[in-house]
Structure 1
Amino acid sequence: MKYWSDTMFLFHEKTCAIQLTRGDTGTLNFDFQMEIDGEAVKDYAAVFHLRKNSLLTYPLLASVPLEAGELFISHELTKDLKAGEYLYDIEITAGKNVMTYGPYPFIIEPDVG
């Protein structure tokens, strides 16, 4: 389950795309339901990765740890990026197990200022 707390910030449920205006902030909450060896896992670490979408390679632009399942996208994260489509994923680590949510589109809209 995911939900956001800002009106200028969009999460598209069908495509899992995140969309916001360059330099805007947003908060998105994730509740990952995971099982390892048939046991529900609640103790995990998750890190958001933002990557440039450049066809053959995907250079890392930013890494943001989630706090209690919450992703906060700060002004600094996108203020200097060009408008366009990027990629994001979330790396989830539980014990010695690593899983990846994504990659999905991260769309930055231009601002007028």
Structure 2
Amino acid sequence: MKVRRLLRGAGIGYRLGGCGLPGRPDVVMKGRGVALFVHGCFWHGHDCPRGARQPRSNADYWLAKIDRNRARDGRVAAELAAAGWRVLTLWECEQKRPDWGERLLAEVRGEADAG
């Protein structure tokens, strides 16, 4: 919801649900050629403290699942890029930064100083 509110407030149109694209991006900005994924750090194996947590129960299953998620995320991003899409990922932990919205808008707009 925070991402949608941010984009709408900036006058950036978008669609939800992947629009038939590989991997079903969370937010698609077709006019800008942007596919945005909003990933949970734990479930997608981000390299932050939350993403590095080890599950306590059924660890073998969950670690394998997270590895499969990461592999799938990489494949999907490559497919979308090959089809001409700019693939952006907003991590759960990034939304805790006070400037996350400005940084995301800069990336969506393709501004060089986004990072």
Range class of TM-score, shorter chain: under 0.3
Greater RCO, 1 or 2 (C-alpha within 8 Å, sep 6+) = 1
Bigger share in strand:
1
